[in-house]
Amino acid sequence: MTTTIDVFSGRLVKQILAADNQEEVSHCVESAMETLLAVRTDFEFSKAFIDKMILLLGEYNPMVLTAVQWSNIKMGKLLFNRLERNLASKKTAHS
């Protein structure tokens, strides 16, 4: 499972960094989550992926990125934090 998450998250981080704007970042994240859920629907896998993305995006230093890249990283973190909250509330609702 870890290898799959590492590969998938690495690709998504590259897409987020290469995005031209925040709308494109949002599209990348939405597409990635749709793909992920089409392949794996279990809560634990989704949670692990979201946690991995938050961790990876949090490791970037704004001093070594362009303004657009840093904006993209911040948007990605925001979107994944929202997904984490939504996932937690869905698990609580189903418990």
User: pLDDT tens digit string along 38-81?
Assistant: 887 788 889 999 999 999 999 999 999 999 999 999 999 999 99
pTM equals 0.89
For the stretch 26-49, pLDDT in tens is 999 999 999 988 887 788 889 999
Number of domains in the chain: 1
Query: 12 near 29, Cβ under 8 Å?
Result: yes
Structural domain boundaries enclosing 75 = 2-94
Q: According to the 3-state scheme, what is the secondary structure of 16-64?
A: HHHCCCHHHHHHHHHHHHHHHHHHCCCHHHHHHHHHHHHHHHHCCCHHH
